[in-house]
Amino acid sequence: MTVMTERPRAIDTPPSGSFEDMLRIVEGLDTPAGYKAELIRGKIVVSPWSKLRYLRPMRRLREQVEAHAPDGHVTETSPFLFVFPRSERGYGPDLFVADESAFDAEGRHADGTALSLAAELTSDSTKDVDWLDKMETYGRVVPVYLLLDMRVGEINVLWDPSPKGYRSRTNVPFGRPVRIPAPFDFELDTSGFAVEEAGNPEDEQR
């Protein structure tokens, strides 16, 4: 029996498993509704999808980003897996914009290079991965990374990827507009992004 909690949990896998082997395991997992499986630091990590109270800010974000997405790119919040073979990572962003042609394949994952934007709504239980692991991996190939810190109440915009990570970054508190760079090139209205986080930080770790 698998017990699911609010915190991401790693699944035991054979220590000698290659990235391709682990990717096949992830694709074959029957994750419960509301959960997603990702490949992080050589482990398969199962974590809950975004909280219910994040629906409104995610919807507002999607509406604005979708209106300025590059031609031929789709904006989704569906739990699709994007892989980064050189980093041996596989992520399911909370929201993404990607080249629609990447979904013509028969497989169950898409190439991370198809992403033009990835967005994560982070909380105490996911901040380490979102701020460190994902920022490093996205920072090599994804043109724009939006990191919404739901507890602090601010949005971080990172862009201009390079082999050493993003070269540009800005952040503003929720309620203030922020510029989203090319290939989107628009002013994002962050009013309505703030949510009231129930409890204290220790609650999410139990």
Q: What does the mean pLDDT of the chain come to?
A: 86
Q: Give residue-wise pLDDT tens across range 6-35.
A: 555 444 454 556 888 888 888 888 787 778
Query: Going edge to edge, which strands form the sheet with 81-84?
Result: 9-11, 43-48, 35-40, 89-91, 81-84, 109-111
Domain assignment present for residue 14? The answer is: no
Domain assignment present for residue 39? The answer is: no
- The CATH number given to whatever domain includes residue 167 is 3.90.1570.10
User: pTM, whole model, 2 decimals?
Assistant: 0.85
Domain assignment present for residue 11? The answer is: no
Domain assignment present for residue 111? The answer is: yes
Domain assignment present for residue 152? The answer is: yes
Domain assignment present for residue 77? The answer is: yes
Domain that holds residue 109: 51-193
Residue 202's pLDDT band (cuts 50, 70, 90): very low
Q: Report the pLDDT value the prediction gives residue 197, as an integer from 0 to 100.
A: 63
Query: Could you tell me the two tokens for 180?
Result: 């989203």
The Cα–Cα gap between 26 and 88 comes to: 13
Structural domain tally of the chain?
1
Q: Give residue-wise pLDDT tens across range 56-82.
A: 999 999 999 999 999 999 999 987 999
Domain assignment present for residue 204? The answer is: no
Residue 49's pLDDT band (cuts 50, 70, 90): confident
